Amino acid sequence: MTSPHTDLSTLDPTLLAAKSGRRRKRFLALSVAALAVLAVAMGVSFLGNTGATEVKVEAGKSNFVFPVATGNTLPLAVGALENTTATAIEKEAFENSAHEKENKIKTAALPSWSPTESTAGEVAGAGDLALVNATEASLIVNVYVTNLAAMQIDYSSFAFPIKVYEATCAAKATEYCGETGHAWKVNEELSKTYLTNTEGNLSFSLKSGAGKYYDITMGTGGSFYVFSTVAADLSPSFYFTAQAT
């Protein structure tokens, strides 16, 4: 039974639903605002932070391995890499009989990806890591992630795809490795490997040959999962060694 003072129009189902909807909206607005204040107070982010990668490559002193980085040099015979194009390499005048001069990398194309906190991902941009000169000897080439322990703090797991390309070129003017007629070709046998957070190193056996060069790269794809973007290190630092066999 209704009260004698009750306005029956206020019991209309349509009006009651509208009022209930307005109350829910006000509650949600207040809840979101309260969560935002709570997040600031507790230092919590409900959106994963995104970091940046800056791959670094070094190598032991030898005439075999040439780390790819802006400002580094390449043998005179190499005019382009798989990812670092001919326009990104400053070439010295080619001399038919000798290779005492070197070409310089103006802008290196290195692998890249965007690690986001509490998120899985993959390598988005392929890049070159090191050029290997196998013109005089077959080689055992090793690559190490020197900051593996730091990366294991930020990544719960990673598997970076490593691809090896090869090219053969003669020491003749305008016939640079990596350019027309001497393009890089993927070595399928050597390109089925992943650099992982559990191992942190790989080894390659590279056969020699006249004018034989290899480009060790990181391809797109693979996988990783990021714990944090601020705790330690998001970018691998690579170190190459080579030994003649």
So where are the chain's domains? 10-42, 56-244
Q: Which whole-number Å values give the CA distances from 38 to 43, 44, 50, 65, 230, in the listed order? A: 8, 8, 22, 53, 21
pLDDT at 173 (0 to 100)? 54
pLDDT at 172 (0 to 100)? 59
Q: How far apart are CA 229 and CA 235, in angstroms?
A: 10
pLDDT at 93 (0 to 100)? 65
pLDDT at 42 (0 to 100)? 34
Cβ contact 166:187 at 8 Å: yes
Instruction: Render each residue's pLDDT in the chain as its tens digit; 245 residues.
Output: 444 444 544 445 454 444 444 544 443 333 333 433 333 333 333 335 666 678 889 887 788 999 999 999 999 889 999 999 999 999 876 554 444 578 999 999 999 999 999 999 999 999 999 999 999 999 999 999 999 999 999 999 999 999 999 998 865 556 788 887 789 999 999 999 999 999 899 999 999 998 899 999 999 999 999 998 886 789 999 999 999 99
pLDDT at 47 (0 to 100)? 39
Q: How far apart are CA 233 and CA 148, in angstroms?
A: 9
pLDDT at 54 (0 to 100)? 80
pLDDT at 119 (0 to 100)? 93
Global confidence as pTM: 0.77
